[in-house]
Structures are given as structure tokens and as C-alpha cells.
Chain A
Amino acid sequence: MADMSDDEIITGLLEGGPAEEKALRLMYRNNLPMVIAHISENNGSQEDAEDVFQETVLTFRDQVVAGTFLRRAKISTFLMSIVRRKWYNRLRRSGYNEGYVAEMKHLLEAEQESIPDMADPILMDEELIKKIEQMLLKIGEKCREVLRMRFWDQFAMEKIAEKLGYKNAQIAKNKHFRCIEELRDLLNNDPDLRNTLRDLL
């Protein structure tokens, strides 16, 4: 399996697009066996492990983009800390495995300084995702790309222009605002989806 150093992973995550996807895949595939071992040992299934770890690498990505990953530990160690925290939260919510919960509480308190507090990601049902995807399909691929770069990757207009081969940031800005206006109209005409999104915020 191909490998990447911690520096290369972080660069990939900040780069967005295919580089981000590659970094996420490698982190996921290289560390999943450890996660399965941990969660299997603590009343979880392989499916639980996969689900928790998918959320974990995405949470890690969010921290890198937000600049809150301080690099005090190796990425693999940090990922396992997030996994333990997430799994602890899930077990605690379900009132399961008191021994593990007590042990983890102690361990996580000791780790408190190294991992910022993290909200559990929003649970998404398939129907909601389908609805969102259908709406985004209506605005076209280029628009989806521009909006992803601005809101997910959090790129400045200069970088979006560079990535998409536009002459300058102003052209990217104009494109961005045309796209967002299109999406705004679509969302305004779908009060159900607006209410669902508002509840999630």
C-alpha cells in the first residue's frame, strides 16, 4: 500500500479535492485494523468501527483545516485518541459497558489537553442526503465545485481562481455569487429542507 508522511497527509488535506481524498483514504485504510481491534474489544462490531473511524478521519480533517491540530502527537496516535473519545461517547449514551466507560473517562480526562472538545458530527439520514444531492445536481458541476472550494475547503477567491484556471479572483467571485444565488433560490423554495437544516444548526 502506498504511504504518506504526516506532513504529506496534512498538505493533502489542506489542498482539497483529489489530494484530500487520497490523504483520507490512506489514513483510513492504514489505521482501520487498529480501530477494529479496539472497538471489537469493547463491545462493538466491525461496522461500528468503520462508522466511527470514518467520522474520526473527517473530524481530524476538520481540525486540520480549522488549524486546531497542534501536531503534539503523530497523526495515528491522535486518530486513536479521537476514536476512543467517540466510542466512549457512543457507549455512554447507550448506557453500555460501565467498566470501559469508567476506564475511558479517566484516560480521556488525562488527554483533555491534547484534544480539543469536539461535537459529534450531525447524524444524517439517507433521505436528507438524497434531497441535498438532488438540489445540488440542479446547479451544475462547476457551481458545485466552486461552492465546495469556498465552503468546505475554505479557499480564498484567489486560490479558487487558480485551481479552476480563471484569470483572476474577481471572475471566481462572480461565478461563486451566481452559483450561490441559484442555490439560494432553490433552498428558499423548499421550506421543508430549510427547516431540517435549521434544526441541524
Chain B
Amino acid sequence: MNRDDAYYDEIHRYLLGEMSDGEARAFQSRIDDDATLLESVRLEEELQLLVKLQRRAELKQMLQNSLTDPDDDASAAEQHAPQTKPIPPKDPKTGLGGIRPPFWKYIAYGSGLAACLVAAVMLYFGNQKFDQEEAVQRYLAVGFYPIKDRKPNDAQASRNGYVAYTHGNWPTAFAQLDTTEDAPEALLMHGVSAMHIERWEHARRDFLHLEHHFNPRYADNANWFLALLDLQAQDYATCKKRLNYLIGNKGFQWKSARSLLAELPAD
């Protein structure tokens, strides 16, 4: 390392807080006495800020995009996961090997009965690769419509329910939120809590009520969660109808709706 590099290395260690207290104090007094060094420190500080601002902006954008790219964790994990097993080459005699499901070997080598069973299973579940339960959980975290005009509510149960909701304590939120008061935001939180604890029918009732009995601005929100409930019930046709409604209106979470629509099995 040449002299210039040592000079800047010291400045970086000072700016990054890597010096001991004594070293930092000594360096600070040198800065106070040396205008050239002070100017160098300022320039290095600006360079570090420049790098940090760029990374911060990059990560902020990534977080923003993560709401509309629900698969990014899976794809990133796949991308960075070490490949533990090499892909076997194809067997020239049987034509088997390479990337294929493990049950292929049973088709090739097992009894006729096993082959028939596997074939039947494949035929029956051929269109079931899409895991709707996993998709519901994934999209459930997307959020909901902002509520700006909620009036303070002194009812103890509602208050407890709201606190439980904000802490992600879904069973308590579900039990405490009083849907009988018919406040749309209470219905919304009750419905979302119900989904988290898999009380699907309760959730459906809340969102249908929300969709039909309140200000239209809640309709988008209700439609989104009803679409997830349809998805859970494997009613893909109704789910698609609701997603198309959200996409067509450019409504609540329409980009997420578009992503989900693309994932659904074909008719």
C-alpha cells in the first residue's frame, strides 16, 4: 500500500468508527490543526455518503417492489442455494434420468400395478401443482385499504382487539373485535384475523358484509380478501373474476392481483 492509501485508510477507519477512543481523539486533534486533512476527511465523508445513499435507495426500491413480486424470496433462495445433488445424466438404455420427479423410477422399474397407480395419481392431480393454501398465506400479507376516518372507540373489547391485531395476535383479535358494532374497519380486521386462524367462513361473512353494506371504497378491499378466500376454496373461476375486477379498476393492490392471476391454474 503506498503512502496515499495509508493516508485515506486512516480517514476511513476514523469515519467508520473503527479507531479506538484514544486513536480517534488523536486523529480529531490532527484534523483540528490541519486544514488539508480536514478537507480530505470531508471529501471521504461525502464519498461514503454517496455510496450509502445509493444502497439505501436501492433497498427501498426493492422493498417497494417486494409487495408486487411475491415470488422474489423463493427465486432468490433458489438462486443462492447451493446445489447439493448433481443432476444425473440420462441413461442411454432407459432414457431415464436428468431432471424428473422421483416417482419416475417407480414407473420404470416397479410393478405394473405401481405404474398404474402412479399414472392414475398423475392424471388425477395433474392440474393441482398450484398450492393455493401457500398462495393465500403469501398474498394475505399484502395489506389492506387505508382507513382514514375511524372514530375513537372506547369499547374495551374493540380496543383490546385492535391492540391484538396490531401485534399480530390473531386469535385474540378474532375473539375481541366486536363485529356487531358494524364498523367497517372492525369488520375488516376481524375478517383478516379470521383468515389468519383459518376460520374461512367467518372471514367470508365479514368480507361479503363489507362488500355490500359500506362505502364503495371498501369494496376493493373486500374483493381482494374474497378472492383469497375463493382461492383457498379452489373456486378459481370466481377468484379470477374478482381479480379481474381489481385489475380492471386499477383498484386496491391491482398489481398483486395481476401477479396472483398469472399464477392461477388455467381453466
A interface, CB within 8 angstroms of B: 1-2, 18, 21-22, 24-26, 28-34, 36-41, 43-46, 49-50, 54-55, 57-58, 66, 76-77, 80, 121-122, 124, 128-129, 132-133, 135-136, 147-148, 150-152, 154, 170, 173-174, 177, 180, 183-184, 187-188, 193-194, 197-198, 200-201
Contact = CB atoms under 8 A, between A and B. Distances in A.
B4 to A, nearest CB: 8
Contact of A76 (B12, B56, B137, B168): B168
Nearest to B58: A133
A43 B63 contact: no
Interface stretch (B29-37, B107-115, B145-153): B145-153
Nearest to B134: A1
B246 to A, nearest CB: 15
Interface string B215-249: 00000000000000000000000000000000000
B120 interface: no
Contacts of B9: 173, 177
Among the interface residues B50, B53, B54, B185, which one has the most CB atoms of the partner chain A within 10 A? Answer: B50
Interface in B147-194: 147-148, 150, 162, 165-168, 185, 189, 192
A29 B66 contact: yes
Interface in B77-101: 77, 79-80
A37 B73 contact: no
A3 to B, nearest CB: 10
A28 B167 contact: no
Interface in B45-66: 45-57, 59-60, 62-64, 66
B146 A24 contact: no
Contacts of B138: 1
A25 B73 CA distance: 8
Given A25-B63, A151-B47, 7 more contacts: A2-B77, A22-B77, A32-B67, A38-B166, A170-B1, A177-B5, A187-B46
Nearest to B69: A25
A26 B1 contact: no
Nearest to B1: A173
Contacts of A36: 143-144, 146
B159 to A, nearest CB: 11
B12 to A, nearest CB: 7
A198 B46 contact: yes
B146 A136 contact: no
Contact of A54 (B48, B63, B166): B63
A132 B60 contact: no
A102 B189 CA distance: 26
Nearest to A157: B9
Nearest to B152: A99
B117 interface: no
B148 to A, nearest CB: 7
B116 interface: no
A150 B9 CA distance: 11
Given A40-B147, A41-B147, A132-B50, A177 B8 contact: yes
Contacts, number: 157
A115 B259 CA distance: 38
Interface of B: 1, 4-5, 8-9, 12, 16-17, 42-43, 45-57, 59-60, 62-64, 66-67, 72-74, 76-77, 79-80, 137-138, 141, 143-148, 150, 162, 165-168, 185, 189, 192
B80 to A, nearest CB: 5
A80 B166 contact: yes
A25 B69 CA distance: 11
Among the interface residues A34, A121, A152, A200, which one has the most CB atoms of the partner chain B within 10 A? Answer: A152
6 contacts: A41-B162, A55-B60, A124-B57, A177-B1, A184-B43, A187-B47
Nearest to A20: B59
B43 A40 contact: no
For the complex of A and B, list the 8 residue pairs with the smallest distance between their C-beta atoms, beginning with the closest.
A46-B146, A197-B46, A40-B147, A151-B51, A152-B55, A40-B146, A151-B48, A177-B5
Contact of B49 (A2, A24, A45, A197): A197
A9 to B, nearest CB: 13
Contacts of B46: 187, 194, 197-198, 201
A34 B64 contact: no
A76 B138 CA distance: 18
